[in-house]
Amino acid sequence: MQINKTLTTIYYFAMLLILGGIILHITEINFAVPVLITGLIPVLAIRIYNWIMTAPEDRRRSFVYVFSGLALAAAVTAIYFNRSYWIIFVALSALLDFYYSFRAK
C-alpha cells in the first residue's frame, strides 16, 4: 500500500499549499493564485481518484469530497477575478470536509 502513503503525503502537502495561498491572498501578496492552483490540482485529482476507486456503497460520501474540492476551485476562480465572495466557497468546503470527517459510517 505504498501508493496510499504517497497519495496521503501529497494530499497533505497540497492542503498546506492551499492554506498558504489563502494566507497570501489575505495579506495581499501577488503570487497567491499560483500557490492556490498548485495545491488545488493534486487535491482535486486525489479526491476524484478516491471517488472512482471507492466501493459503491461509499460513493455518495466520496462525491461530497469531490464537491468540496470543486468549491475550492470556485474559490480560486473568485480570488483570480478579485471577487470578495471567495470566502463563501472556502467556508463551504471546510464545512463539508469537517462534517464528513467526523460522521459515523
Q: How many domains does the chain have?
A: 1
Q: Provide the sign of the torsion angle of the four alpha carbons 42, 48, 53, 58, taken in this order.
A: positive
pLDDT given for residue 103 in this prediction:
75
pLDDT tens digits along 11-47: 999 999 999 999 999 999 889 999 999 999 999 999 9
Record the pTM.
0.88
pLDDT-derived band at 102, boundaries 50, 70, 90: confident
CA-to-CA distance for 26 and 46, rounded, in angstroms? 26
At residue 96, the pLDDT reads 92
Summarize pLDDT for 59-90 with one digit per residue, the tens: 888 889 999 999 999 999 999 999 999 999 99
Nine cell digits for residue 105: 459510517
How far is the C-alpha of 15 from the C-alpha of 38, rounded, in Å? Answer: 10
Q: 10 lies in which domain range?
A: 2-101
Longest dimension (CA), the chain: 43
